[in-house]
Structure 1
Amino acid sequence: MRAERPTVPRVIEIPWKLIRNHSEKSPEWLASLPAALDRYVDEWQLTVSGELMSGEASLIAPVVRRDGTPAMLKLQSVNDESESEALALRTWNHDDVVEVYEDDPETSTLLLERLEPHTLEELPDHVEATRILAELLTHLMVVPAPPGIRQLSDIAGQMLEDAPAIIPLLVDPAERALTQRLADRVREVLPESGDRLLHWDLHYLNVMASQRQPWLVIDPKPLAGDPAFELMPATWNRWDDLVATGNLAQAIRDRLDVMLDITGIDRDRALAWTAGRILQNILWFTEDGDTRIEAELKAVVDALFT
């Protein structure tokens, strides 16, 4: 029989990134983190073994399981992005993604395999990093989405519904026209939005080194849809590496070419759904108060659509 846990709650220092991102929209969740950490350490019989870390939307605690296995406890708020994370990770092939040891669907809390503290962002050769990303995508993109996963058709349909009210907020007429053209491309492919299990945020920081495989995918925001929707993050992450080539537009096109050559995704569909990803970002940024298209996003548009 295990001894009773002390009743004094754990005192933790919440990382500044989480405070910045969630103090206004979810202060209750932030306030609940010390108790939540205590709860799952107790329920899953864990020992905290290192300093707390955070992503953009989660508190992560290095822990050790009762059998001595190192793991990572991920505490996050329940939302459309987090509620299917465990399901997606368990649906893909175990050799491609981080393993889920435990999960609580009610709170989206996960106990995950502990990986090496290195990501594809740190691989010196960004072209090789893109190849690895593409090879992982070839494995993920063949898996059908299980029931209950959000649909790309719904996400894209909502974008097209929102666009007429948001596009006029852009002050430059040329940027308004450009954004409308992107929306028109999405409308063309919307009737065939696909049914594969998508990651939605497959970029270099979301691929980590591992002892059991060279690289494993983490942190999906699951969708059911066309794998062509997965390509955009590869074209504008590791931005400094693109700029360093001296020919930004060509470097962006080369990134896309690597992804297409390895995955075999059709170029026309790739461009149409990349237009959708760009449109999505423009709508997000403009709704948040921007009145011009972000420079990096505009550079991707110029490289791929002009």
Structure 2
Amino acid sequence: MSSVAITIPERLERNLRAWEGEPGAAWLAAAPTLVAGYLDRWHLTAERIVEPGGQISLVVYVRRADGTPAALKAGLLTVETAEEHAALAHWNGHSAVRMLDADPAHAVLLLERLHGDISLRSLPEAKANLEAASVLQRLWVEPPPDHPFRTVTAYAGSLRDLLRTRRDLPVCAAANALPLIDEALETSAALLASEPERFLLHGDFHHGNVLASDRAPWLAIDPKPLVGERAYDLAWLANDRMETLLGSPGPEAAVRRRLQRLADSVEVDRERLRGWTLFRAVEAGIWSLTVGDTTSAELFLEFAAHT
């Protein structure tokens, strides 16, 4: 129910067309009708489309039938997003956004409304990392029995296969990325040879995915859940605000200090954190090259070179 036109934010359209190709374009064409259907189904009144919104999802601020504010989130169903609802259900609002309703088959979620314009990016880096580490520690819980989540071993293994394949692409040679790719492949193989612990992980944890709320100071959003070791989850946080570290005097020392502080703050093995940070930065950098985002690719690869 709404007099608000369901439109697609520019960033979402650009990302899905560039990153997901035909499936992304098809989803974008169907999204207004899809969202309108859920407004009716769940008796919601749309207030506004969130701009710029999510990187890969359409977010609409809504009111429930009783007037409660909420957020309707709809996105393309992928292997990474398929179990978001299951992770949110398991956390049940504990350090994460609370899920109010869901249709997992169509990747549509009804969530409590947070302060979408206030993320940890609004804080100075040191303070943001402290708050982020606190949220992460509360999210790292034992997964449910017979859980549906992919393991770090399986997921990182599939990323290694892709990275090995992409190594032969001309763009990788042109970017002088081959030594970093080889190091990332070797390092990740050693990490995957052992699995020291099994926690439910967020999977895509960074400052932008932690929002302010009325219920708690900070709550995590947008998980791409995995089960495995905490160092893998922490590695994506270590990559956050790369441009700040790379622009500082002595960037290599600055990167190493960040890794040490993050590892100490949550009692994670520093060398495993360093290894996963290297792998995730190189993998993200090479993926960015393949979709034509050379600016991000250069940042990720330069960061990886300093780990």
Q: Secondary structure of 1:49's match?
A: strand
> What's the counterpart of residue 122 of structure 2?
122
Matches of 2:177 and 2:81, distance apart in 1: 33
Find 1:215's aligned residue among 218, 226, 229. Answer: 218
How far apart in 2 are the matches of 1:173 and 1:70? 47
Which residue of the partner structure matches residue 160 of structure 2?
160
Map of 1:191 onto structure 2:
193
Distance in 1 separating the partners of 2:221 and 2:293: 30
Of the two, which has the highest radius of gyration? Answer: 1
Distance 2:90 2:107 in 1: 16
SS in 2 for 1:192: coil
Q: Give the deviation of 1:232 after TM superposition.
A: 2.6
Distance 1:301 1:187 in 2: 17
Q: Give the Cα separation in 1 of the matches to 2:50 and 2:207.
A: 22
CA distance in 1, matches of 2:199, 2:232: 11
State the AA in 1 paired with 2:142: V
The CA deviation at 1:37 is 1.8
Q: Does 1:13 align with 2:13?
A: no
1:10 Cα offset (Å): 7.3
Match of 1:238 in 2: 241
Q: Distance in 2 between matches of 1:216 and 1:10?
A: 28
**Range with bigger deviation, 155-164 or 104-113:** 155-164
Q: Percent of aligned positions with the same letter in both sequences? A: 32
Deviations 1:199-224 (A, max 9, x none): 11110100000111100000011112
Q: Is the 8 A contact 1:160 1:183 kept in 2?
A: yes
Q: Go from structure 1 to structure 2 and tell me whether the alpha carbon gap of 1:99 and 1:286 turns closer, same or farther (over 3 Å shift).
A: same
TM-score (norm 1): 0.87
TM-score using structure 2 length = 0.87
User: Is it true that 1:37 corresponds to 2:31 in the alignment?
Assistant: no
2:84 is the alignment partner of 1:82: no
The 1:16/1:162 distance shift into structure 2, 3 A limit, reads: closer
SS in 2 for 1:171: helix
- Cα deviation 1:259-296 (Å, max 9, x = unaligned): 11111011122122223212422442344468999332
Q: Residue type of the partner of 2:33?
A: A
Q: Which residue of 1 aligns with 2:277?
A: 274
- Cα offset for 1:139? 1.4
Q: CA deviation at 1:174?
A: 6.5
Aligned 8 A contact 2:82 2:107 in 1: yes
Report if aligned partners of 2:282, 2:304 keep a CA contact under 8 Å in 1: no
For residue 140 of structure 2, what is the aligned residue in structure 1? 141
- For the pair 1:49 / 2:52, whether they are aligned, the reply is no
Query: In angstroms, what is the RMSD of aligned CA positions?
Result: 2.6
Deviations for 1:156-180, whole angstroms, at most 9, x for unmatched residues?
2223333443223332696323321
Residues of 1 paired with 2:138 and 2:204: CA distance? 15
Per the alignment, residue 301 of structure 2 pairs with: 298
Q: Does structure 1 retain, via aligned residues, the 8 Å contact 2:164–2:185? A: no
In the alignment, is the contact (CA less than 8 A) between 2:231 and 2:268 conserved in 1? yes
Q: Do residues 22 (structure 1) and 23 (structure 2) align? A: no
Provide the residue aligned with 2:112 in structure 1: 113
Q: Give the match for residue 184 of structure 2.
A: 182
How much does 1:110 deviate? 0.4
Determine the structure 2 residue equivalent to 1:201.
Answer: 204
Aligned residue for 2:94, secondary structure, equals: coil
Unaligned ranges ≥5, structure 2: none
The one-letter code sitting in structure 1 at the alignment partner of 2:235 is M
Cα separation, 2, equivalents of 1:13 and 1:181: 44
Q: What is the DSSP-based 3-state SS (H/G/I as helix, E as strand, rest coil) of the residue aligned with 1:216?
A: strand
- Give the conservation status (yes or no) of the 8 Å contact 2:74–2:109: yes
- Measure how far apart 1:21 and its partner are: 2.1
* Counterpart residue type for residue 9 of structure 2: P
CA contact (8 A) 2:236 2:277 kept: no
| 8 Å Cα contact 2:204-2:236 kept in structure 1 | yes
- Number of matched pairs: 297
The residue number in structure 2 matching 1:96 is 95
Offset at 1:11? Answer: 4.1
